[in-house]
Structure 1
Amino acid sequence: MKTRRLKPRTLVGAVAVIALAALSLQGCAVVDGSGDDPDTLRVMMGADTTYPKERKQWQQETAAAFKRTTGADIQWETYSTPQEELTAIQTSVISGQGPDVYAIGTTFTPTAYATGAFVEMGADEWDAVGGKDQFSPASLGISGPSASKQIGIPFASRPFVMAVNDELLERAGITEPPTTWDQLTADAKATTGDGTYGMAIAYADGFDPWKFVWGMAQNAGNTLVDGTTAEIDTTAVEQAYRTYFDWVTKDGVVDPAAIGWNNPQALAQFADGKAAFFPMTTTTSLNSLQGSKVDGKYSYALLPTVPPGATERPADGIEAASILSGDNLVVADYGTKQDLSFAFVRQVSAPAAQERYFELFGQLPTNAEAADRVATANPDLAPIVRAGELSKPTAFTGAWSDIQLSLVDVVVQSIPSLKRGEVTDDQLRARLAAAQRDAQSTLDRQKNGGL
């Protein structure tokens, strides 16, 4: 495998991406260490606050196997927030040094692609990681702008669903999970009381809030980005945020403490039997629920796909049960260790390795053989498998990461108002107008920069 270097035009593109994002990002990632050591591969992944012990165990096992097969060591590096994730990519791209392999969220793949700083996968590259056909076709849906231009190698799949406390629903006389967002609100009201809440939500989480808004907007026919035009300051998006905020203020179906919660705290509330629904979760919740108070009393169900205020999806509505979610591995184009990088990817993409990752973290394999084995052995995961089939990708634009952060920022700015008990219409519309301006500005700069 020949070594690749950033071309001048690529570096210009990278600078443009950094410039357009710098205004909104102040994260700081852990990027240090091995430098040019030819016997150490630097791998950056998201920190795992839900399963830190399992993460350490997996890293030790993976590094030991890598040492046996290649003679090289692995230096693990982490990011903890989307801001840190993007900053790490930007810093490495502009400096031409950094981690050799990144595990990035699927929605960040378009931004990584726009930098031109990661290896584009051709026939030789796919062969080096064990073959493109080993991966489930759906998992390749956000690897690049087209089937012939891809940088993302599928690593883990995390379709979003709801965890449902079957016992609480039965007690309330609810026999079927809701299929519309209004039904979910009504069912949450029916299951609130006697020390339990209808929903476990994490308003302060850096990753979750925008997914609710994206899903509801998609169901209403709004994709948030139409080509080079942002569509955030719209009725559909406003109604999505209003629904999301009203759950904790007007409807009273969410514990007010959840305004300050991250995802693990919301999961803990559901695991303790104190919430009927835990929407926007994945199979990563499996291990936490095993042995909990709801073990044997819960199931998974699809998220609603009919937008707020409607009883059926409109003609232009999208049956987006989930974002196309998970992690892609990308290999740095600026380094000299592509051979080691592809050896690492090949190792963690093998069926046994993928099944081990599922065992430790509950994340579905992207390797088709491993995915089939997991689905056969775990029939209760059928709704999650179905959610994966109904998943839709976010817009493939280098501006998406900034747009995603703008969507989260609407919630961040609203936290004080939520704590006071109300986000007014004027406040919400002003924040959406600001997010629209920021998103459109990012899209315009990307277009003008030729990315």
Structure 2
Amino acid sequence: MRIRTLTAAISVALLAVTGLAGCGSGGRSDPNTITYWASNQGSSLQQDRDILTPELAEFTKQSGIKVNLEVIPWSDLLDRITNATTSGEGPDVVNIGNTWSASLQATGAFVEFDDATLGKIGGKAKFLETSLSSTGAPGKTATSVPLYGLSYALFYNKQAFADAGITSPPSNWTQFVADAKKLTNPAAGKYGLSLAGASYTENVHFAFILGKQHGGNYFDQAGNPTFATPQNVAAIRQYLNLLAADKVTTPGSVENSTTPEAVTDFTAGRAAMIMGQTGVITAIATNGMQPSAYGVAPLPILDPLPPGGEQINSHVAGINIAAFKDKNTDGALKFINFMTGKAEQVRINQKYSALPVTSDAATDPIFQNPTTKIFLDVLKTTSAPMPMVTNEAQFETTVGSGVSSLIAQLVGGKTITDDDIKATLTAAQQKLTGGG
């Protein structure tokens, strides 16, 4: 999905390059100025200003177009964008979580990236095919393009593996569970894995990823929800087993509401493994764990795959960039071309510990180190887009919260059956369709 941070839920306008407030009123903008709403990618809004200000200054130097910057926390961003689609009081350019692409596309408020418009920013071939798959509903003209990429991988503690006699990271799910059991010693306060079990977003991501491995889909080709299938039930059962039947997760896994909380279990030595996105690297470093102390490997996949199962171990995570209609479209496209150019993709994604989304930047040596290359290869080859449907946000909320509820029931001592999982998915679908 998008890069998530634990900043305060306050929207702070950060001026960059110019000393004026953003030109966010309806109608066309000054042709020599654009307003840019950036998503909060760093550890703080201040860090985003520090990172983006020199980049925007470089764009101004090259184009003569000044940029008014506002960095908006994720807690406010979707509401701000949605309000702008109806009021016209929006920016020229905006970052969006890529899973919002189809719902925002349906508003009709954004510039369409048809072949001619794509040609102005380098063409379709400029971008990674998987990242382009999260820019709008299938069969419809995209209204955003990729900006920052992310994917999932497995982080493992090298010393813990060596102490347990494990010589390499697991290559499939069976090995993963077996290794996690070897690494679990409750008496010593050691566990194989830490999860963010109270995070509905993490829970829906794994329900989706494991669902693809089982051959499941949450929507059919017409966009109708198909939540309570045997494949989706089996995927959630597999995920819940880590906490229940397998008993390989830290006690805090059921209460961790964010990935950084799971990271703390990992860096403190309580968990030997975590499953996380690219940005976890920064969180690990912040906690003082040295890169030499851990390894990274692709998330394990079922082997053999069930009938219809896909070789998927991540969703296409990341951030897109879009331009509002009836604004300074020419300036906006020049800015988008700049932000997705090779030089900027290398600089900005390196600073944010994210992945490039363009083919030329992906081959840059800076992203070919063993750790980053694993994430990049996953993004390019074994990731799938979250459902590109207009009610994707409701899908994430209903299914993710449903899984969180099942985890909470496990804590309360309830044995979760497949019928319980099916009932939870059925209830989630009813909420999505307004029937419950």
**Offset of 1:89 from its aligned partner?**
3.5
Q: Distance in 2 between matches of 1:223 and 1:342?
A: 35
1:223 is aligned to 2:224: no
**Aligned position for 1:13:** none
1:243 is aligned to 2:216: no
1:170 is aligned to 2:166: no
Q: Distance in 2 between matches of 1:277 and 1:243?
A: 17
**Offset of 1:398 from its aligned partner?**
1.6
- Do the aligned residues in 2 keep the contact of 1:192 with 1:198 (CA within 8 Å)? yes
Distance 1:152 1:185, change over 3 A: same
**Aligned position for 2:118:** 126
Amino acid paired to 2:67? D
Amino acid paired to 1:365? P
**Offset of 1:191 from its aligned partner?**
0.8
Structure 1 gaps of 5+ residues are: 1-27, 443-451
Residue of structure 2 aligned with 1:293, choices 262, 265, 289: 289
Residue range with higher mean Cα deviation, 37-46 or 250-259 = 37-46
Q: Distance in 1 between matches of 2:429 and 2:304?
A: 28
Q: Distance in 1 between matches of 2:365 and 2:203?
A: 29
Distance 1:266 1:376, change over 3 A: closer
- Do the aligned residues in 2 keep the contact of 1:271 with 1:294 (CA within 8 Å)? no
Amino acid paired to 1:173? G
- Do the aligned residues in 1 keep the contact of 2:200 with 2:396 (CA within 8 Å)? no
**Offset of 1:217 from its aligned partner?**
0.9
Mapping 1:93-104, distance limit 5 Å: 93-104=85-96
Q: Distance in 1 between matches of 2:337 and 2:140?
A: 20
Deviations 1:299-331 (A, max 9, x none): 22111221xxxx510231111121122111111
Structure 1 runs of 4+ off > 6 angstroms? none
Mapping 1:277-288, distance limit 5 Å: 277-279=273-275, 281-288=276-283
Deviations 1:225-244 (A, max 9, x none): 11233221233323333333
**Offset of 1:185 from its aligned partner?**
2.7
Q: Distance in 2 between matches of 1:272 and 1:124?
A: 52
Q: Distance in 2 between matches of 1:41 and 1:366?
A: 23
**Aligned position for 1:432:** 425
Secondary structure at the aligned position of 2:106 is classed as helix
Q: Distance in 2 between matches of 1:161 and 1:54?
A: 26
Amino acid paired to 1:300? V
- Do the aligned residues in 2 keep the contact of 1:320 with 1:390 (CA within 8 Å)? yes
Matched residues, percent identical? 24
Distance 1:384 1:110, change over 3 A: same
1:270 is aligned to 2:266: yes
Q: Give the structure-1-normalised TM-score.
A: 0.80
**Offset of 1:367 from its aligned partner?**
2.3
Residue of structure 2 aligned with 1:303, choices 273, 294, 299: 299
**Offset of 1:418 from its aligned partner?**
4.8
Mapping 1:63-212, distance limit 5 Å: 63-68=56-61, 69-81=63-75, 84-145=76-137, 149-193=141-185, 194-212=188-206
Backbone CA RMSD of aligned residues: 3.0
Q: What is the aligned length?
A: 407
Q: Give the structure-2-normalised TM-score.
A: 0.82
Residue range with higher mean Cα deviation, 236-245 or 100-109 = 236-245
Residue of structure 2 aligned with 1:354, choices 319, 329, 345: 345
Residue range with higher mean Cα deviation, 36-45 or 170-179 = 36-45
**Aligned position for 1:256:** 251
